[in-house]
């Protein structure tokens, strides 16, 4: 009986998941993440139709909503290759343009020149970086004070994004690894000098309220660069700053870590030394 019930539930999960993955908007998303969300929605008593709707809405919220429409990865790769042959300045210009196509990196563009130079100033140039829920942030590698030939592992849930990032990172002087991975259900355990959790915690906490705390505690990194958006239409949002300051204090309470705080026009950043 139990096997039958589990089999029926498994078939229902598969059916909803297949429908969600068939839609153009979610086709590139990691099936394991889709499965985890569908399973939870069905387990909460939703009908398959309701679970389908709730899953799409969650995937939009945590991933698809950040993308600026159609992503022209092949063209962007070709443009980046050509720009690199032209000059360092042309390459940076091309990378900035592409970063404008993901809401998170777009918001960082106005402060990009100072962002990594300021926040990473006090530490040894990292030889290994783990970019958790990376979006298009690996394109900012030329702005990061990394050790020559550093290893850079980037994780996100879009297959086509990861297929683009791997060759792009090769252009940027790092040993790049693009991992198509759900960092909530399957957290990375790479040992690294620096892990980036940029604007990732509030997003991942929408999938699992404990995700932020777990990643901070368990990522195998000497330093963590953690950030939160504080940009609103009218500029910096004081309420958001207070909210994320308090959230970060709660996440790091009773941990023997050193935490440095930086406030940029669009982003509140913490460098954590574990
Ligand atoms: C707010 S954006 C931050 C992007 C990047 N860190 C930055 O600051 O530019 C959140 C990113 O998390 C990714 N994401 C959402 N859920 C994820 C998961 N379970 N595992 C890995 N990445 C995920 C989304 O695709 C999106 O690119």
Candidates 32, 53, 33, 39; CA nearest to 9 is 39
| CATH value at residue 118 | 3.40.50.150
| Pair (124, 54) in one structural domain | no
Torsion angle, alpha carbons of 244, 210, 64, 26, to 10? 180
Query: Based on the domain organization, do 128 and 241 belong to the same domain?
Result: yes
Residues 160, 237 within the same domain: yes
How does residue 228 score in pLDDT terms, banded at 50, 70 and 90? very high
pLDDT single digits (tens) 136-163: 999 999 999 999 999 999 999 999 999 9
The H or E element containing residue 229 is strand 221-229
Task: Looking at the structure, tell me whether residues 39 and 140 fall in a common domain.
Answer: no
CA-62 nearest atom, ligand 1: 15
pLDDT at 22: 97
Q: Which numbered atom of ligand 1 lies nearest the CA of 182?
A: 20
Are 43 and 171 found together in one domain? no
Find out whether the beta carbon of 37 lies less than 6 Å from any atom of ligand 1: no
CA distances from 182 to 24, 32, 67, 107, 238 (A): 20, 7, 18, 24, 32
Residue at which a domain ends, from 30, 62, 94: 62
109 and 32 share a domain?
no
- Tell whether ligand 1 has an atom less than 6 A from the beta carbon of residue 58: no
Which of the four pLDDT bands, split at 50, 70 and 90, describes residue 51? very high
CA-to-CA distance for 151 and 250, rounded, in angstroms?
31
Of 64-73, 79-88, 151-160, 240-249, give the lowest mean pLDDT range: 64-73
Structure confidence at residue 3 (pLDDT): 64
Write the DSSP string, 80-122.
Answer: HHHHHHH-HHHHHHHHHHHHTTBHHHHHHGGGHHHHHHHHTTT
In the predicted model, what is the mean pLDDT of residues 161-183?
Answer: 97
State pLDDT tens for residues 19-49: 999 999 999 999 999 999 999 999 999 999 9
pLDDT tier at 4 (50, 70, 90 boundaries)?
A: low
Does the Cβ of 198 fall within 6 Å of ligand 1? Answer: yes
Average pLDDT of span 121-141: 97
Between CA 188 and CA 200 the distance in angstroms is 14
pLDDT at 233 over 80: no
Which residue, 34, 62, 90, sits at the end of a domain? 62
Query: What's the rounded mean pLDDT across residues 251-263?
Result: 96
Going by pLDDT thresholds of 50, 70 and 90, the confidence category of residue 2 is low
For 39, the domain range is 2-62
Ligand 1 atom with minimal separation from the 108 CA: 9
Residues 124 and 232 both lie in one domain: yes
pLDDT of 64 > 90? The answer is: yes
Q: Which pLDDT belongs to residue 9?
A: 84
pLDDT reading at 234 higher than 70: no
Residue 72 maps to a domain: no
76 in any annotated domain: no
Domain presence at residue 69:
no
In a domain, 73, yes or no: no
Residue 210 lies in a domain: yes
State the chain's mean pLDDT as an integer.
95
* Predicted pLDDT of residue 69: 84
Establish whether residue 193 lines the binding site of ligand 1, counting it when its CB lies within 6 angstroms of any ligand atom.
no
Is 68 a member of any domain?
no
Domain count, the chain: 2
Say yes or no: 123 and 20 in one domain: no
Within-domain flag for 32 = yes
Let me know whether 99 and 203 are in one domain.
Answer: yes
CATH number of the domain residue 27 falls in: 1.10.8.10
Give the Å distance between the CA of 104 and the centre of ligand 1. 9
C-alpha distances (whole Å) from 97 to each of 78, 102, 143, 229 are 13, 10, 14, 20
């Amino acid at each position: 009986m139990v096997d039958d019930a589990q089999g029926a539930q498994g078939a229902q999960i598969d059916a909803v998941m297949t429908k969600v993955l068939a839609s153009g908007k979610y086709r590139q998303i990691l099936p394991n993440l889709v499965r985890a969300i569908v399973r939870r929605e069905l387990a909460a008593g939703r009908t398959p139709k309701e679970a389908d709707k709730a899953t799409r809405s969650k995937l939009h919220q945590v991933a698809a909503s950040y993308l600026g429409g159609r992503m022209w990865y092949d063209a962007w790769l070709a443009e980046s290759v050509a720009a690199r042959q032209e000059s360092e300045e042309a390459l940076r210009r091309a990378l900035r343009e592409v970063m404008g196509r993901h809401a998170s990196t777009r918001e960082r563009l106005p402060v990009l020149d100072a962002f990594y130079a300021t926040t990473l100033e006090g530490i040894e140039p990292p030889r290994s970086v783990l970019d958790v829920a990376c979006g298009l942030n690996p394109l900012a590698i030329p702005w990061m004070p990394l050790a020559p030939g550093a290893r850079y592992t980037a994780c996100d849930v879009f297959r086509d994004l990861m297929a683009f990032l791997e060759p792009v990172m090769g252009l940027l002087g790092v040993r790049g690894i693009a991992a198509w991975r759900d960092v909530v259900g399957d957290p990375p355990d790479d040992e690294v000098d620096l892990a980036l959790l940029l604007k990732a915690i509030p997003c991942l906490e929408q999938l699992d309220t404990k995700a932020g705390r777990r990643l901070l505690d368990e990522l195998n990194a000497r330093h963590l660069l953690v950030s939160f958006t504080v940009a609103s239409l009218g500029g910096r949002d004081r309420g958001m700053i207070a909210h994320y300051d308090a959230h970060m204090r709660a996440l790091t309470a009773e941990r023997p870590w050193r935490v440095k705080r930086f406030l940029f026009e669009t982003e509140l950043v913490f460098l954590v030394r574990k």
